[in-house]
Amino acid sequence: MRNQSFIACFTTALLIGACNMPSSKNKQQIDSEPNIIDPITLQSFGEQITADNSITLTEAIAQLGSQANIHTKVKGTVVDVCQAKGCWMNVAVNDSQVVMVRFKDYAFFMPKDIAGKEAIIQGELYWDTISIEMLHHYGEDAGKSANQIAAINKPELKPSFEAHGVLIK
C-alpha cells in the first residue's frame, strides 16, 4: 500500500512538472521568427547586424554610381511589404523613389505590417533590370489593381538591394 501511495505521488509530481515546462518549438518555427534584440526598439531578421554606421539610401546610391554593386548598410522607411509572404519590401529613397529589398537566399521574410517603420539593412546594393513579368508579379504581391498592373509595359533599370540582415525599429 505504501509503494502505491509513493508511485501515485511520484506520478502526480511528474505530470505537474511536465505541464509547467515551456513548450518546445520546432526548428522551422524558430527560424521564421525574428530575434528580438531590444524588445522595445529593434527586431532582427537574417544575419545579426548592428544599427551603427548606416547611411541613407540616397548616399548609398551615390556611392554605387556606375559600379555593378557595393556592400553597404543603409537606413530608410519601409513603404510596403509583399503581402503574400513578406518576401520583399520597398524602402523609400525619397518621396518619389523606392528601392526593392529582397532577402539573401530567400532565407528570411519580413512581417507584413511594417510599412511606415524604420529599417536598417545590410547587404548588397546593385543595379537590376526588372522584367515586365516580374513587375507584374510584384504589383500583384503589393495588391495593385488589374489596371495598374496592365499599365506596366516596359522593364525598369533601378537600384535593388539583397539584404543579409535587417533590423526593424
Query: What is the DSSP annotation of 91-135?
Result: EESSSS-EEEEEEGGG-----TT-TTSEEEEEEEEEEEEE-HHHH
Measured CA to CA, the distance from residue 144 to residue 166 in angstroms comes to 26
- pLDDT for residue 8: 44
Q: Residue written as cell 511594417?
A: 114
Q: Which amino acid is at 21?
A: M
Q: Is the dihedral of CA 98, 110, 101, 84 positive or negative?
A: negative
Question: Can you give the pTM of this predicted structure?
Answer: 0.67
Q: Show the domains of the chain with their CATH numbers.
A: 35-168 (2.40.50)
| Longest CA span, the chain | 87
φ, ψ (nearest 5 deg) of residue 65: 50, -125
3-state secondary structure of 45: strand
Pairing mode, strands 156-168 and 98-103: parallel
- Each residue's pLDDT expressed in tens, for the chain with a length of 169 residues: 555 554 444 444 444 443 444 444 333 333 444 544 454 578 999 999 999 999 999 999 999 988 989 999 999 999 999 988 999 999 999 988 999 999 999 999 999 999 999 999 999 999 999 899 988 988 887 788 999 999 999 998 899 999 999 999 8
| Rg of the chain on CA atoms, in Å | 23
User: In this predicted structure, what is the pLDDT of residue 138?
Assistant: 81
